[in-house]
Amino acid sequence: MKPCALALLLSLSLLGQEDIRNTRVLHTDSHLTMPVYKTRAEWEQRKVVLKAQIQTALGLDPMPAKNPLHAQIFDRIVMRDCTIEKVLIETMPGYYVGGNLYRPLTPGKHPAVLNPHGHWQYGRLENQQLYSGPQLGSNFARQGYVVFAWDMVGYNDTLQTPHAFGTPADRLWGFGPAGLQIWNTIRAIDFITSLDDVDTSRVGLTGASGGATQTFLTAALDDRVQFLAPVNMVSGIMQGGDFCENAPGLRYQTNNVEIAAMAAPRPMMLVSATGDWTKNVPSEEFPAIRSIYALYGKPENVANVHLDAPHNYNKQNREFVYRFFGKHMLQDSAAGEISERDAPVPMLQDMLATSRRPLPAGAATYAQVAQMWRNWTGTNEPKAALTRAIGAKWPGSAVTDDGSVLLWEGTRVPYTFVAGQGSPVLVIGGTKADIPVGRPGVVLDVFQTGRAVLARDRNVKHFSAFNQSDDQARVQDILTGLAWLGTKYPGATVELTGVGTAGAVWAEFAAAIAPIKVNLKADLKNFMGTDDDFLQYFNVPSIQLAGGLAAAQKVLAQTSH
């Protein structure tokens, strides 16, 4: 190889090798820590951002309208200390979730506990040493709570979708198991708070493993959860290994520890163990979360119990949760003495809601459920929705290193500058020839194009939950370019030119979410905004849910006047 060619290759490599998006690819097993927040105001501002991010990632932005649950409660079993009933609720029209309702024998209003389950073989009906849903439900009911346990998607009675599902096109609409399960949990709260014997001011939520993920995600979105106990899941070294815990974008620049902290100052018990990924909770995750509670003056409202045990929600841990809830929910001065009594467990067929009873006529098919989810799209704030879906930020201080790379928060964008007079031009997907003669301009090599093409490991566990797609990163780079030109040419309107279909699409969406007015020149050619179009040219999770091309065009039409 000739020396000049070698030098060129070396220079091209150096241009992008330090881009954080290539060098720091996060995944479920990355060691993630929560930032330090010094004031309550700083944290409250962060919470607003996090809540919007979670909703968008789960496909719940905007939160859908709620259909009638048409709750069916039937086949009551009278036990020694409680009653157990079968339940079917319609969380979406024609979509049914099965569960069991445990009630105390005493009359009157009772606090409520909701129990989402983890990835146990028998789901909510698992009954073994490491986890027993029936024991937990029966004992809580004996203590005076109304308890509802229901299925993860694809378990037991809830089989209209499998547990793991979602095509690439579905992800454009935010449709997947994580969002559906959290929606079911929100509807489970709707159900239990609708019961005449429930005190709606005292609602608790506890689950283990994947059930703990549902617990803290739901608490982050729904303030009706006033007490919670996520068991063996809140960790900085493993974020959840299943598709139902890893929606695209869910943990972009965040993690389970920070999300769990959103419950503050509501009483919360963190249960951890030496034998799983929560082994560091007493020394790392618990102090971080407690620091957030301290901002509210309520550090005593969060507790941790740490057992020498494998991954579990065993009897000993359940007793700690009974006592914590008894102290905070029941205001019971003797809560520290609560212990679990062995309760008889009915046969599986006597607990399953669809045993000897099929789903109602007209139950939705998988395709119909997916279509209903797609029909939820629509917002009065398309620019905000698109910004949340794309996940880009307006750079406040983009700088250049040596006249060849723009730098912002660890990102590196190669560029070529052409001097001139008049308003500046930013070219995406083109060359210097696309800058009008005599005008100043910049040609950007946005992420993974031109000189910015470098290795990026996309095969890590649940890549999309932790990292932006290439197309999201490209829009971020365009915003960086716009911000830099805006600083270099104050008061001027930047002309943003997208060359080729891809360049035009990237420019279109960047212009739509930019907080400044730009003069957009982008020929979308055959890009019509279909799912196939987005998968080829702008593969961004939940972009269709945010309104897609129509939303971008609506925003641009409004800002052009």
Position 15 scores a pLDDT of: 44
Q: What is the pLDDT of residue 559?
A: 83
Examine the pLDDT at 490 and tell me if it is beyond 90.
yes
How high is the pLDDT of residue 7?
A: 34
Query: Which pLDDT band, with edges at 50, 70 and 90, does 380 fall under?
Result: confident
Residue 1 has pLDDT above 70, yes or no: no
Q: What is the mean pLDDT of residues 161-166?
A: 97
Q: Is the pLDDT of residue 9 over 60?
A: no
pLDDT of residue 403: 83
Residue 5 has pLDDT above 70, yes or no: no
Strand 198-208 versus strand 110-116 pairing type? parallel
Lowest mean pLDDT among 298-302, 373-377, 511-515: 373-377
Task: Enumerate the β-bridge partners of residue 269.
Answer: 303
In what order do the strands lie in the sheet containing 519-522? Answer: 399-400, 405-408, 411-418, 441-444, 425-428, 495-498, 519-522
pTM: 0.95
Confidence of residue 402 (pLDDT cuts 50, 70, 90): confident
Decide if pLDDT at 285 tops 90: yes
DSSP conformational letter for 106: S
Q: Which pLDDT does position 379 carry in this prediction?
A: 74
Of residues 228, 200, 235, the one with CA closest to residue 214? 228
Distance, CA of 52 to chain centre: 9
Q: What is the pLDDT, as a whole number, of residue 330?
A: 96
Q: What's the Cα-to-Cα distance from 221 to each of 58, 209, 215, 216, 542, rounded to whole Å?
A: 11, 19, 10, 9, 18
Whether the pLDDT of residue 17 is over 70: the answer is no
C-alpha span between 19 and 553 (Å, rounded): 31
* Structure confidence by residue, pLDDT tens digits, 305-335: 999 999 999 999 999 999 999 999 999 999 9
Q: Residue 263: is its pLDDT beyond 70?
A: yes
Does 117 score more than 70 pLDDT? yes
* Ranges 14-18, 67-71, 368-372, 402-406: which has the least confidence: 14-18
Which domains are seen in the chain, by residue range? 44-374 (3.40.50.1820), 382-559 (3.40.50.12270)
Q: Tell the residue number behind the tokens 């739509």, with chain if given.
A: 512
Average pLDDT over residues 208-224: 98
Looking at residues 145-163, what average pLDDT do you find? 98
Distance CA 3, CA 246 (A): 47
Residues 6 or more apart from 283 whose CB is under 8 A from it? none
How many Cα atoms sit within 13 Å of 320 on the Cβ side? 18
DSSP letters, 40-94, are: HHHHHHHHHHHHHHHHHHTT-SSPPPPPP---EEEEEEE-SSEEEEEEEEEEETT
Distance CA 148, CA 192 (A): 7
Cα-to-chain-centroid distance, residue 10: 39
Q: Enter the tokens of residue 243.
A: 């598709």
pLDDT bracket for residue 245 (50, 70, 90): very high
| 338 closest CA partner among 352, 328, 353 | 328
Per-residue pLDDT tens for 46-105? 999 999 999 999 999 999 999 999 999 999 999 999 999 999 999 999 999 999 999 999
In the predicted model, what is the mean pLDDT of the chain? 95
CB 520 within 8 A of CB 546: no
Name the amino acid, one letter, at 297. G
In contact, 185 and 207? CB cutoff 8 Å: no
How do residues 439-455 score in pLDDT, each as one tens digit?
999 999 999 999 999 99
